[in-house]
């Protein structure tokens, strides 16, 4: 138990020594990742099973249990990691737990439950030896494995708040900013603005009244959850980063803004703030110094645009989340008119690492100008879905093929940077993943979403999907964002429905460039990216839709037809499920689909046991409706 406030550096260090001393020395530790992703795949049952086994078999002094946040490999969850051997068990079922616990207690391995590599067919014991982990540099995610996010003691015993204590007692604020600048840290939310320079600007603002530092946790990209895993798995690292930032810039107030859709992250952050306050790491005169700082938690109200910093400020003030013109920049005039520094979750999490390890060591990872690691959420058509943390400057091929395990023949493109990112075709996968290369290729780093697409993905449909998302999420203040995105969606919708006209592509491009040029905030300025990048790299697919009225990927229902092949056994199941009675035939012979009646719902394909119902990307007569002036 930890009680009382820490009033000095020595008090923190002696607490750390005590916590470390209390840990049993040669006990095995069963580590179970139970972030939102883990819980969704049943991690809580595994935790309950492990608790029961440890209790019943009286192993409490030999086997410890640690419930942590996400480790990254969501595809294999619920998983168990056994320390100190670092044995990794994927997709654990509650029934497997007794064997794993027994093996852990004797320091052995439950061989048959280990991960088996599909390429070599060999079982691999240690997590580090698994191909998924081999190319990763897990500076941040690796820490998730070592702490229970609900216990500040875990974090302190692992050296937590040591970087802050060192900064507070040994480094002058200007020295800390120099360190961050030397490390070359750039904003991980997507913009890539040098963090040190931002800090310097806040530090230059006059002291005396309130100054704010804000953690932006309004992660809204579909399919991206890097920030969630950090907030859930290691909230104290964020608090420590903010403490260092506040001390370096002279800020006295902190805000962590977490989107409402992350209940577990909100719970863990709220607990962490409370715990830090109780032992005096937040509040007045921290660690006996003259530095005072406190953090409040603000829950987002469900708008994507609130991730934009001026909209975020308005949201924190309790107003409608709507961006405004910069300048004045938030660092000049932010929350309630006071200077405000906003950094992304991942940026804050990197701060203690830099102070702890030194700028030089941090800068050695990655490439010059793009230092450190970046977490990506790798989803879509890959074998290893999950969060991957890689050094900046790694190639897309390494992420998609080597880490993600995607098949090189099937992959068509990867979409980086969330809904407002761009699609990069497979032939360009030797592209280095850093802020500048991605930008040059028409995509963005964004906060780190990475969606892998294969030959079964229609690029026009993808552009339409993302445009739809952005159309719904546009705040509507800017006329060109509100109407421009709506019109882009309208044209894309026409194309995917077979109503496209050849001149549509030029209009689409013209409109996209105007939207990019004339909108106020990042949402509007990047919204045309999915359209422009697919037009740039997959123009032939657009033309197929418009000229030949064919969807090559077989996705756009208006441009495909359903047909029954010779494999048909004549069972008649398809005819039975068809809602429009479009399928007819004699039992025992090949059935036929009447294209006039078929509504392409796909029920027949799902019902067919012989796999005889297929999608043919074929020409089809469509009713033509024009757009434009009626006159």
Element (H, E) at 550: none
Q: How far is the CB of 437 from another protein (least distance, A)?
A: 16
Q: How many CB atoms lie within 10 A of CB 106?
A: 10
List 484, 498, 500, 572, residue binding another protein (CB under 8 A): 484
| Alpha-carbon span 62 to 261, nearest angstrom | 38
Q: Which is nearer to another protein, 250 or 369 (CB)?
A: 369
Does residue 518 belong to the site contacting another protein (CB under 8 A)? yes
Among residues 207 and 517, whose Cβ is nearest to another protein?
517
Instruction: Tell me whether residue 35 or residue 500 sits nearer to another protein (CB atom).
Output: 500
Query: Is residue 495 a contact point for another protein (CB under 8 A)?
Result: no
Nearer Cβ to another protein, position 305 or 351?
Answer: 305
163 is a site residue for another protein (CB under 8 A): no
| Binding piece for another protein, criterion CB under 8 A, among 263-271, 281-289, 537-545, 621-629 | 621-629
Among 127, 496, 519, 557, binds another protein (CB under 8 A): 519
Question: CA dihedral defined by 575, 581, 585, 587, rounded to 10 degrees?
Answer: 40
487 binds another protein (CB under 8 A): yes
Question: Where is 454: in which H helix or E strand?
Answer: strand 449-454
529-537 helix and 539-547 helix, angle to the nearest 10 degrees: 90
Q: Does 510 bind another protein (CB under 8 A)?
A: yes
> In the window 271-310, what residues touch another protein (CB under 8 A)?
303, 305
Nearest CA to 530 among 378, 381, 415? 415
Per-residue CA distances from 529 to 190, 488, 526 (Å): 14, 12, 5
CB of 323 to another protein, least distance (A): 9
Helix 345-357 / helix 226-233 crossing angle, nearest 10 deg: 60
The Cα–Cα gap between 73 and 379 comes to: 11
Q: At its nearest, how many Å lie between another protein and the CB of residue 21?
A: 55
DSSP string, 555-607: --GGG-EEEE-TT-----HHHHH-TT--EE--TTS--EE-TTT-----HHHHH
Which position among 463, 478, 553, 574 is part of the footprint of another protein (CB under 8 A)? 478
Distance in Å, CB of 511 to another protein, minimum: 6
Of the pair 360, 517, the CB lying nearest another protein is at 517
Shortest reach from residue 197's CB to another protein, in Å: 17
Least distance to another protein, CB of residue 629, Å: 6
Site string for another protein, 447-476 (x = CB under 8 A): ------------------------xxxxxx
Task: Compute the CA torsion angle 44, 50, 55, 60 (nearest 10 deg).
Answer: -120
Hey, what are 107's tokens? 């320091």
Q: Which of 102, 105, 83 is nearest to 113 (CA)?
A: 102
* Number of chain positions touching another protein (CB under 8 A): 36
The span from the first CA to the last CA of the chain, in angstroms, equals 79
- Rounded CA separation 90/379 (Å): 18
Spatial contact of 444 and 436, defined as CB atoms under 8 Å apart: no
Nearer to another protein, 276 or 478 (CB): 478
Establish if 201 lies at the interface with another protein (CB under 8 A). Answer: no
Q: Is residue 245 within 8 Å of 212, Cβ to Cβ?
A: no
The neighbouring-strand residues paired with 450 are 378, 416
Q: Does residue 150 touch another protein according to CB under 8 A?
A: no
Binding string, 315-334, against another protein, x = CB under 8 A? Answer: -----x---xx-xx------
∠ Cα 122 379 512 (to 5°): 150
Which residue number, 66 or 333, has a Cβ lying nearer to another protein?
Answer: 333
Query: In terms of CB distance, is 273 or 313 closer to another protein?
Result: 313
CB of 497 to another protein, least distance (A): 13
- Residue placing its CB nearer to another protein in the complex, 83 or 509: 509
In this chain, which of 517, 567, 594, 606 binds another protein, going by CB under 8 A? 517
C-alpha to C-alpha distances, 221 to 60, 217, 252, 518, nearest whole angstrom: 42, 12, 31, 23
Exactly one of 483, 536, 590, 605 binds another protein (CB under 8 A); that residue is: 483
Nearer to another protein, 305 or 316 (CB): 305
Tokens of 18: 């005590």
Q: Does 629 bind another protein (CB under 8 A)?
A: yes
Question: Among residues 11 and 329, whose Cβ is nearest to another protein?
Answer: 329
Residue number with CB closer to another protein (415 or 474):
474
Taking the least distance from each CB to another protein, the nearer of 15 and 535 is 535
Binding status of residue 439 toward another protein by CB under 8 A = no
Give strand ranges (E) for 35-190.
Answer: 63-68, 80-83, 87-89, 115-116, 123-124
Task: Say which residues have a Cβ less than 8 Å from residue 124's Cβ, sequence separation at least 6.
Answer: 88, 114, 115, 116, 117, 130
Among 270, 397, 428, 507, binds another protein (CB under 8 A): 507
Q: Which residues bind another protein (CB under 8 A)?
A: 303, 305, 320, 324-325, 327-328, 471-480, 482-484, 486-487, 490, 503, 507, 510-511, 514, 517-520, 627-630
């Amino acid at each position: 138990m930890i009680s009382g406030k820490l009033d000095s550096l020595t008090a923190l260090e002696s607490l750390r020594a005590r916590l470390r001393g209390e840990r049993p020395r040669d006990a095995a530790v069963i580590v179970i990742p139970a972030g939102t992703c883990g819980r969704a795949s049943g991690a809580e049952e595994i935790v309950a099973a492990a608790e029961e086994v440890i209790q019943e078999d009286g192993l409490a002094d030999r086997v410890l249990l640690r419930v942590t946040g996400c480790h990254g490999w969501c595809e294999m969850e619920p998983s168990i990691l056994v320390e100190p051997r670092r044995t990794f068990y994927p997709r654990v079922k509650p029934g497997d737990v007794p064997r794993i616990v027994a093996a852990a207690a004797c320091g052995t391995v439950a061989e048959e439950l280990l991960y088996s590599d599909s390429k070599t067919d060999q079982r691999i014991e240690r997590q580090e030896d698994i191909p998924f982990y081999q190319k990763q540099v897990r500076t941040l995610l690796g820490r998730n494995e070592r702490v229970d996010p609900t216990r500040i003691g875990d974090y302190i015993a692992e050296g937590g708040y040591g970087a802050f204590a060192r900064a507070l007692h040994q480094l002058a604020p200007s020295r800390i900013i120099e360190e961050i600048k030397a490390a070359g840290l750039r904003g991980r939310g997507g913009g890539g603005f040098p963090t040190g320079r931002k800090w310097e600007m806040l530090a230059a603002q006059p002291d005396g009244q309130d100054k704010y530092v804000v953690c932006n946790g309004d992660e809204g990209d579909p399919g991206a959850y890097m920030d969630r895993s950090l907030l859930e798995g290691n909230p104290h690292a964020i608090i420590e980063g903010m403490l260092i930032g506040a001390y370096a810039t002279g800020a006295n107030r902190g805000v962590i803004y977490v989107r409402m859709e992350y209940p577990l992250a909100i719970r863990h952050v709220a607990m962490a703030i409370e715990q830090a306050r109780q032992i005096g790491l937040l509040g007045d005169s921290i660690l006996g110094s003259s530095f005072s700082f406190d953090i409040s938690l603000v829950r987002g109200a469900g708008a994507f645009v609130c991730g934009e910093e001026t909209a975020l400020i308005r949201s924190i003030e309790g107003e409608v989340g709507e961006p405004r013109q910069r300048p004045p920049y938030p660092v000049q005039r932010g929350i309630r008119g006071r200077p405000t520094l906003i950094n992304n979750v991942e940026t804050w999490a990197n701060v203690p690492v830099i102070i702890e390890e030194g700028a030089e060591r941090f800068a050695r990872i990655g490439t010059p100008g793009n230092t450190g690691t970046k977490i990506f959420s790798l989803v879509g058509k890959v074998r290893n879905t999950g969060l991957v943390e890689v050094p900046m400057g790694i190639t897309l091929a390494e992420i998609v093929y080597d880490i993600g395990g995607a098949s090189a023949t099937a992959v068509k493109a990867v979409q980086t940077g969330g809904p407002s990112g761009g699609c990069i075709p497979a032939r360009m996968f030797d592209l280095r993943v850093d802020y500048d290369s991605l930008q040059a290729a028409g995509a963005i780093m964004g906060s780190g979403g990475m969606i892998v697409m294969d030959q079964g993905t229609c690029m026009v449909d993808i552009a339409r999907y993302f445009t739809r998302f952005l159309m719904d999420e546009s705040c509507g203040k800017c006329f060109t964002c509100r109407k421009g995105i709506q019109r882009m969606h309208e044209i894309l919708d026409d194309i995917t429905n077979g109503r496209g006209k050849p001149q549509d592509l030029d209009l689409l491009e013209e409109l996209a460039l105007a939207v990019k040029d004339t909108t106020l905030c990042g949402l509007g300025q990047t919204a045309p990216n999915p359209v422009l990048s697919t037009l740039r790299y997959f123009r032939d697919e657009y033309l197929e839709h418009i000229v030949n009225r064919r969807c090559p990927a077989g996705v756009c229902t208006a441009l495909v037809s359903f047909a029954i092949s010779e494999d048909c056994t004549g069972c008649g199941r398809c005819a039975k499920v068809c809602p429009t009675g479009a399928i007819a035939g004699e039992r025992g012979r090949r059935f036929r689909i009447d294209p006039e009646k078929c509504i392409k719902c796909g029920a027949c394909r799902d019902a067919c046991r012989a796999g005889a119902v297929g999608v043919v990307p074929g020409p089809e007569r469509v009713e033509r409706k024009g757009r434009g002036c009626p006159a």
